[in-house]
Every structure is written in structure tokens, then in C-alpha cells.
Chains A and B, each alone.
Chain A
Amino acid sequence: MKSVRVVVVGAGVIGFSTAVCIAEALPFCSVTLLAEKLSPDTTSDGAAGILFAAQFPDIPLDRQRRWFKDSFDHLLAIAQSSHSPDAGVMLSSGCQIFKEVPATKKPFWSEFVIGFRLMTDRELKRFPDHKYGQAFTTIKCECSTYLPWLEKRFRKTGGQVEQRKVNSLQELSNGYDIIVNCSGLGSITLVGDTEVYPVRGQVLKVEAPWLQHFIRDGDGTTYIYPGIHSVTIGGTKQEGDWRLQVDDGDTKSILERCSRLEPSIGKAKVASEWVGLRPSRRNLRLEREMMQLQGRRVPVVHNYGHGAWGVTLSWGTALDALGLVRQCLHEMPLRAKL
């Protein structure tokens, strides 16, 4: 009999990864996922989903390495299995190129991706504006397929999904014993976190089935990510910009910049355009807090603020959040666990 009621707020890659981790590891918990937006309308859906990380300044490096490694290993196992196409997870090789030699030559994630090495001079010849590059194999995880696949896994454990906007955590205090907040940008209003801000990203999906490698400019703003059915090209990084409409100037700029990296993009048909708001924060917030809600003390586990690295850190932070939920369970009065 499921005795502890857990609610996860948010149905993006963080919400679903966390919900699945909890539901599969803790069979005595009933887990409900609530979200205003479900796939294909989440921020995760439009993301190219290439596993690749930058560093948060104030989080111990060990913890970040573990998040990246756990996420990578989890998705690599799926990519190597017969589930790969059902889950929308595939291997992707390519390169990251720099116009100037970067300060960090061996970023922390370089040992977790596969075959990380410097590009040879011959390889760099294709990119006359760039003088340094790294080649490696990583994972691409397409959330418009991955989220429904995670949802199936979630429902198998008895998990419930409800499309509903949660306006405040007060609404949840009576119905649930533990709240897990994966609301991304929504945390601004849901928990009053003023440190969260959007970083607007626009991408185009083009038809270029001859492209097999990803190419990313080290500045993080220009990239080409071949996927299962189309190639995602981008992008923009507009801090504090809340506009969800497509900007024609951005479209033009993306096509120009990407064609310079890969001339054949000029021959590709543009299939669609999309805008997402990266739920950014100086540091990702992954911690638990005791909140006073409607006269009850309710433990809340926060897992939000992943910025541009939601897919990249999804499973690792979900596992971490699971650990925090276990701690909450440990400290709960016995009555609630019966």
C-alpha cells in the first residue's frame, strides 16, 4: 500500500526524470506529477538535447561531475539499447570549435563524454575562422520523444500525471507529504525565487539529412545539431528576454552564422522555428527546505535552475533529488509512513 504521497511540480525533463527516479526507487510512495504544460509544450521539447555542460560557479565540482556522469551513463545505456529510437536517445559525434584558444583546455566533462581529443589541423581547415577545436562523441536526447517515453515508465509504477497549473505550494500542502519543485522558470512565482531569469533561445529545425556531425562554436551561441528527423540549428542567448515569439532578425542571423560553419545549410529547407526560455540561475538549486504551508510543516525538495543544461544534468540531478527525498522520509514522523 502506497503510504507516502509525493507530488512533483513540472513536466519538463527535470520534472519527469525526478518523478521516474522517485517512483521507481520508492514503491511505497505514491507519486503524482502536476504541470501546467506537458510535452510537446515544455521548454525541454524544443531543446536539441545535446549532452554538454558548463560549470556553475559556486557548486562543488565533485557534485557537478557526478551530475554529468550519472546523466551521461544513464542515457548512454539507453542509446546502446534497443530502446534508443523509442526514447529518442542517440549517439552524436562532432566538434566544438573556438576562434581563440580557450582558457580551459580540458573542461571537467571531457572525461565523461567519449573519445575527447583535440582536433587535427586538417579537421580545422574546414573552419577558416577558427583556430582550435575539440572532437568527441556525446549523446543527443530528444525530449519530444524522451518525455513521453519517461511518462510511460512513470505510469508503469502507478504514477499519476495531471495537467494543472499550481499557483502556490499552499495548494498542495493538504494533499501531499513531500513536494518536489521542478518548475524551472515557474519557480520565480511559485517559490518567489528572484534569482531565476530567462535566457531566450531561438532555434530552427531544418531538413539536412546528409549532416551526421554536430558543430558547436565555443561561444555557445552558434550550433548545428543533427537529430533523428531534422537538424536543430541555433541560436541566441538573450538574458532577461521573455519573448516567446519567433524573431525574424534572429532567424536571419542563425542561418547566416550556421551557413558560415557549414555551407550546405544554405541548401536545407527550414521546417520550423521555435523559442524557449532557459530557466537560468547563477547556480542550479538542488536542496531541501522545510516550509510552513497551511499550518503544516511540509518538506520541499527543489530541483530547478538548470539553464541551458537541463537535459545534460537531468538524470544526475534527479538522482540527487531522490537522495534528498529519502532524507525527508527519514525525518518524517512515523505516523505518515504507515
Chain B
Amino acid sequence: MRVAVIGAGVIGLSTAQSIYQQYHSIASPLTIEVYADRFTPLTTSDGAAGFWQPYLYDNGKIQETKWNKETFDYLLSCLSSPESVKMGVFLQSGYNLFTEPVPDPSFKDTVLGFRQLTERELQMFPGYNYGWFNTALMVEGKTYLPWLMDWLQKRGVKFYQRKIDSFKELAETGADLIINCTGVRSGELQPDLELKPGRGQIVKVDAPWLKHWILTHDRYTESYNSPYIIPGSRLVTVGGVFQVGNWSEQCNSTDHKKIWENACELEPSLKHARIVEDWAGLRPVRSKVRLERETIQCGPTAIEVIHNYGHGGFGLTIHRGCAQEAARLFGEIVEQKGKGPKARL
């Protein structure tokens, strides 16, 4: 079977990995090719802080909650492996802050040691009256993506730097199946009115004395439009912008000023932090993740496509669960095509 994956962000690479892990001996010979115009460190996944936390409430999207949990449990198990440092995976604790009491989040039993904040902790954050403390995971894109590429390359997966303009283009090269992990630009391959960019901008600073992430929440705005400070293994990511419909990948000085001022108010010691870089990225926002099969007619032939895009601001958080589900859909297709072990009876 020849599989073409479009997109080399965390979704594309992890989907390729799951398919390989589950089917390389079953759907043998299995050729996997990854096509993308941008590779690490230039993908959306690379710019993200790499903090595992879903949106606070899933609003009935229980599949997504399941995939988030699967990802957390998977990454947690990776911690004890000798690969953990090379994967860019590590634990970090921190604070979610609110101005008034809110219901517990969908992820409260998934993360470690979830609890309400004590009075003393709230005193550390003037202006906030309620919050949570828990231990979560970090998975840093700039480290995780190269690790994934290396993992895939070692197993014969080929990479092609090329912008794919249509599914037809790949079908004509002889691919049996396409995995569409094109994130925010999926609309260029197939119009999707539900998919929109959720522009984010961040400032990366050198502040190694900070060891906790701090996320603030404002009930009047979406997640991530309120200040957040997320220390990484080398630099601290400071942000708080979520502009739906804005396609600009340029950094904006008004946004920078707002982000920086808010963050310094939240964490006064940032005044001494050296600013290293600014970055803007487009979260692939959608009402819900599109993870499903579709048969696409390309002239006389039909090609199977598995869509796996629209992960908004929680791509790293949900990636493994989605990759495993995409692999399951792949398995269905393999069986239907008779290319699985049954075919060899």
C-alpha cells in the first residue's frame, strides 16, 4: 500500500507514526510518503509552547476528551523511557486563574494532582479569585517534530518538500490513500466553511527562574485571548492572543505590547527577562476536529482520503489520540481493499 500524508506538523508526523506502528507488518509492503511545503522548525506545531491542556470544557465532544486523555497517558508513559529527553516531553505544574468560581474542567482526572488553589496561592495573583493547580505535560514541538521525523526516516518513510495543490495530484502519482493533515490551509485542498485561522502571537523570553505555567481565563473571551506564561526547557513562551479570521503570520507590534504588558503585570519578574523572539501562528480552528474518511472522485478513479485536521489550539494535546484513530480508519480501508492479511489466505 502506498500512503501519502500531506502535512508535516505534529498531526501529519504522528499519524504516519501510528499507521506505521500498527500496520507495517499487516499491510505489507507499506510505503509512507510525507508531502509538505513546511517542515520543522517552520510549522505551526513548532511555534506552539507545547503545553498539554485541552480547552476547559468539551461541550459534549466526548471523542475529543477521549483522544486528549489518550495523548496524555501516552506521553506520561514516554517519560520513563530513555527517549523522553529527545522527545521533548517533561512534566510541569502550574496555575489556571479565574476571576470567579467555575466548574471543574474536562481534564481534571487526566492531569496529575488536580486541586483548587489555596487562599495563599490566590494572594500571589492579585485580581484573580479562583483557580486550579495541577501537574501537566509539556511536549515541545521544536524537539518532538525532529524526533518524529527521525523515527519515521529510520523506518523508511520518505519526505518531500512540495506544496500539494489537489488530492488529484497525489492520486495521479499512484498513491492508494491520502491522509490529509494540512491544518489551517486544508481549505485550499477542499473548501471547509467551518475551518478558520485562530491567529496567535507569542513572545519568547529568557527567564529560567520561572518553573510554573500560568494561564489566565476571562469569561468574556475565548481561551488564549487572556495572558499566559508557559516556561519551556529553554525559553518561556508568553502569549494571549486568539484572533479568529486573521490570516496574518506577521508579528504585530500592538499585539506584542498588549501581550508583554499583561504578562509583566501577572509576573513582575518578567521585567528582567531578555526578549529573544516574537512569533505568530495560525491555529487551525474548527467547530470540532475533522477526523473521518472520505472517498474522493478524481476523474475516473476514486481515492480514499482520511481527514485529520482542525485541531485548533490543542493539536499537541490531542495528537496521539487522533493519530491512533486515523490509523484505525486506515485499517478499515486496508481490509476493504483486501490488502490486509485476509487477502493472503
Contacts and interface: CB of A to CB of B under 8 A. Distances in A.
Interface of A: 80-86, 88, 90-93, 114-115, 117, 119-120, 122-123, 126, 135, 137, 209-213, 226, 228-229, 263-264, 266-267
A80 B212 CA distance: 13
Interface in B300-333: none
Contact of A115 (B88, B133, B234): B133
A86 B207 CA distance: 11
A115 B118 contact: yes
Nearest to B85: A267
Majority-rule SS of B interface residues: mixed
B269 A114 contact: no
Given A123-B112, A210-B233, A228 B208 contact: yes
A85 B272 contact: yes
B112 A120 contact: yes
Majority-rule SS of A interface residues: mixed
Interface stretch (B89-97, B157-165, B220-228, B242-250): B89-97
Given A85-B269, A85-B272, A212-B91, A119 B212 contact: no
A117 B82 CA distance: 30
A314 B163 CA distance: 62
B80 A126 contact: yes
B29 interface: no
A63 B312 CA distance: 54
B79 interface: yes
Contacts of B40: none
Nearest 3 interchain pairs by C-beta: A84-B269, A210-B90, A82-B268
B211 interface: yes
A93 B93 contact: yes
B93 A81 contact: no
Contact of A119 (B93, B113, B207): B113
Contacts of A211: 90
A135 B268 contact: no
Contacts of A90: 209-211
Interface in B120-170: 120-121, 124, 133, 135, 138
B208 A135 contact: no
Given A120-B113, A123-B113, A126-B80, A212 B90 contact: yes
Contact of A213 (B91, B115, B231, B272): B91
Contacts of A93: 93, 135, 211-212
Given A114-B118, A212-B91, A212-B231, A86 B272 contact: yes
